[in-house]
Amino acid sequence: MGSRRRPTTRGVSELVIILALIAVIVPLIMVLQSWLSSRAGALESVTVVQPLVGYLVRRTYSGDNTEVITFGIRNQARDTFTITSVRAVLSNGSVVNAYIASPTTSPQSVSISPGDEVVITVRVNTGSANVRTTALVVAATDSTNRRVELTINVG
């Protein structure tokens, strides 16, 4: 019969290794889950501020199928915006250009600095006495040429 050899070094049991790994990994997973939960809670509290806010001031009708609409725009951003165009959405579904009557005749010269507010008067040719303006769409760009469109309900 063969002789049995005795190992010279003793090894660690697989069961002990598995238990040690579980004892280390479970607390790490709990810490990671807690950290991710706190980050998700922080993301939910982020509020988005619209850079431009508009409101209707006054609206009048004239006999020549023209509406005169006065509206205000407030700049809530940190950058100056320049108005590039104003369009009117009519009750018949068509979209027409609105022409700035005040403060100037060129929309590109109307700039709104951060925190400022401007009141603008536009003329809209509706084409018919039965058609009215339902909304104004104001397009503006900032100094980085980022385009923002603001819809003002006037209907």
pLDDT digits (tens, 9 = 90+) for 99-119: 888 765 555 578 899 999 999
pLDDT at res. 155: 77
What is the spatial distance between Cα 150 and Cα 140, in angstroms, rounded to a whole number? 8
Predicted confidence at residue 139, as pLDDT, reads: 93
Residue 102, number of CB atoms within 10 A of its CB: 13
pTM of the complete model beyond 0.75: no
| pLDDT above 90: percentage of residues in the chain | 54
Work out the burial of residue 140: count CB atoms within 10 Å of its CB; fewer than 13 is exposed, 13-18 middle, 19 or more buried: buried
Structure-token pair, residue 152: 């003002």
Residue (of 94, 93, 90, 81) closest to 138 by Cα position:
81
Predicted local distance difference test score (pLDDT) of residue 138: 93
Q: 87: closest CA among 62, 123, 113?
A: 123
The predicted pLDDT at position 100 comes to 86
Q: How wide is the angle at C-alpha 76 spanned by C-alphas 81 and 46, nearest 5°? A: 125
Q: Residues 23-51: what's their mean pLDDT?
A: 81
Confidence (pLDDT) at 104: 56
Q: What mean pLDDT value characterizes the chain?
A: 85
